[in-house]
Chains A and B, each alone.
Chain A
Amino acid sequence: QKEVEQNSGPLSVPEGAIASLNCTYSDRGSQSFFWYRQYSGKSPELIMSIYSNGDKEDGRFTAQLNKASQYVSLLIRDSQPSDSATYLCAVNRGNSGYSTLTFGKGTMLLVSP
């Protein structure tokens, strides 16, 4: 079983719609979860971090975490063409105190005008 799984997409949504990106992880000991956005040819940039079960909102972005189901998602409201990018789910795994991120392969999001 892959450690962090995401649907590779592309996920196509019209401008103004809600985009829903999903991620599952295998290590039950994982405690920190991150969503990064990566534009083509650029480096990953942090969108959201979430550590507790439930929802966390920041502007148009909402991260949702369900540790029992080992599931984390990112909702993007009022999607804009500028949101078109690959979204990487990252999980800080394991029992050590080290900050080791395991990334999913990313979901490509395409927002059409």
Chain B
Amino acid sequence: GQQVMQIPQYQHVQEGEDFTTYCNSSTTLSNIQWYKQRPGGHPVFLIQLVKSGEVKKQKRLTFQFGEAKKNSSLHITATQTTDVGTYFCAGHNFNKFYFGSGTKLNVKP
């Protein structure tokens, strides 16, 4: 069945270092979304990618959707302590969502 794999599971970085999380689907997706969940909070929508090869930026965050629409990445430049949390991708296909397992980011000041 449909699966969305996300790596790494955990990432510890020093403040100012970059961070990347990767999402891979076993099948082609119609779109992919990214969410952030702060510790003790609930997932909050960040962005949606729809087109093959699409790249979107939000300040220090860069989101990419692969050419085959089966993989995606989120890159954070120069992390800050406010970036701490778990980042989830969610692939959308045939009217269903498939959340990745999440990457937990810890940023040391």
**Are the chains A and B members of one assembly?**
no
